[in-house]
Structure 1
């Protein structure tokens, strides 16, 4: 699997473009902003799907640039996606429009997109609908897990107790590569 890391926006959110050699499609995870940078990373590939780890504005700001792409999101964050107060977009001064999610993801669901097999892990804590996406030995953790830290729980939908449970759960995947929503990737230990 080819993983392109595209840091976007003022908060340098890691947007990921996943693709397989020989295919003309790709999956985007968390297109936070800077649509032109994401499109450059895609090259000639078509967007098979956009996977959102949660509904905060810094992970969704470039959705408008991919009007035909299906959007996958946990149902607990569907309202957050289009509500500027819940997504914290209003606080950040971000007025870009957000499309509604077209598909729901839930715990244990397996997605087959662009030739990839993607497992959904519901990891609430940062928001009620936070998920991680496991692809082979790689886990895309959004704002649940960072290198040496975890996501904040003081924003709408945050819950410190749930975050502790989600972190414990991710420790089951020790030895796998984790690709966070911000910062550098790491090995889960």
Structure 2
């Protein structure tokens, strides 16, 4: 495991954003309010269809003795800044296309910017996210997000399909969610 002294007590967030601006962002942010920002980054700027964040890498993100950062933390930070660019209380990622151009190591600071595309009244949005460490592009992606009027778990669930398991020679019923019904439920929540 990489040692903390590899990066002299880590960079403090205050080097990138004032406490005043951070408080302003926190008061405007309506999405992902319970997210652990120590592993998903901190939103440092927010505006209509735009958000900027900082991910400060820590020992908790390291996967080996060389200090390599697990790429899932990079994706989590990109997802979070994309959600913030839309800034709706109820939103869910439905698709992504991402490129990791270079690995991060302990002590790297990843700055991410997200630009939400399409009209903000649209329920389905594409968000372009780009991440840099110093002047090196480390990450680029498009994250598709759908917003709903209520929490995804509170939406009416689609009917279940019952299928018979004949591979084992038994007539047991196994319930599976019908994908067409699930898609219809999400589209209905989007008002289509």
Q: TM-score range by the shorter chain?
A: under 0.3
What is the TM-score when the length of structure 2 is the normalising length? 0.25
* Higher relative contact order (Cα pairs below 8 Å, separated by 6+ residues): 2
Q: Between Structure 1 and Structure 2, whose CA radius of gyration is higher? A: 2
Instruction: Considering fraction of residues, name the structure with more helix.
Output: 2
What is the TM-score when the length of structure 1 is the normalising length? 0.26
